[in-house]
Structure formats: structure tokens, C-alpha cells
Amino acid sequence: MPSRLSILSFVVLVGSAASLPAAPPVDFQRDVQPILNEHCNACHGVDAVERKSGLRLDVRDSALKGGDSGAPAIVPGNVDEGELLRRILSTDAEELMPPPSHKN
């Protein structure tokens, strides 16, 4: 469960960053990429053969575009609109990310 908490924390950070006037802007490479590398990129990274659902999360523009579902994975400034948060919080085993079988 700690991995889901880490990912959820990242999504909340991205979504709330715009509302924190004193906070420095979220930098994808510095703040977001390390979390995605640890929890997501084995299945949604640079390797096109291993990539699942056409979703690439190791490149910011690809994460904003989304995968085969057509929904953006991440929507800067609006965490509720991103597919990534929906998948992290899903109770459907077919949609849940990372999947229960994923080991860090």
C-alpha cells in the first residue's frame, strides 16, 4: 500500500500546486518523474514493446496526452480530471494502478 500512497501524494501535489501561492512551481522532471519512474515506468515507460495501453509516463507531453483510453493521464492544476488518479483510486481490479501484482 505504500506505493499507492506515494502515487496518490504525487497526484495531490500536482493538482494542488497551482493553489499554493508560496510554493515553487511543480517541475515534472524534479517532482513528478521520480515517482513515475519508481511505480509506473516498468509498464508505461520508454520500452515500446513492454508499454501497456499505449500510455507513456516517462515523457511529460505523453503523460498529458494519455494512452489508448483517450483520456489524459495527468491534467496540470486539476487532479480530478486526470485518468491517473482515477486508476489509483479505483476499486475495480481491472483498472487499479499499479496493479496488485506489481512489485517495487
- pLDDT by 10s per residue, the chain, length 104: 556 767 766 666 666 655 556 788 888 889 988 998 999 999 999 999 999 999 999 988 998 999 999 999 999 888 889 999 999 999 999 899 998 887 66
The Cα–Cα gap between 13 and 9 comes to 6
HEC states along the chain? CHHHHHHHHHHHHHHHHHHCCCCCCCCHHHHHHHHHHHHCHHHHCCCCCCCCCCCCCCCHHHHHHCCCCCCCCCCCCCHHHCHHHHHHHCCCCCCCCCCCCCCC
Q: pTM for this one?
A: 0.70
The Cα–Cα gap between 82 and 85 comes to 6
- Residue 41 confidence (pLDDT): 92
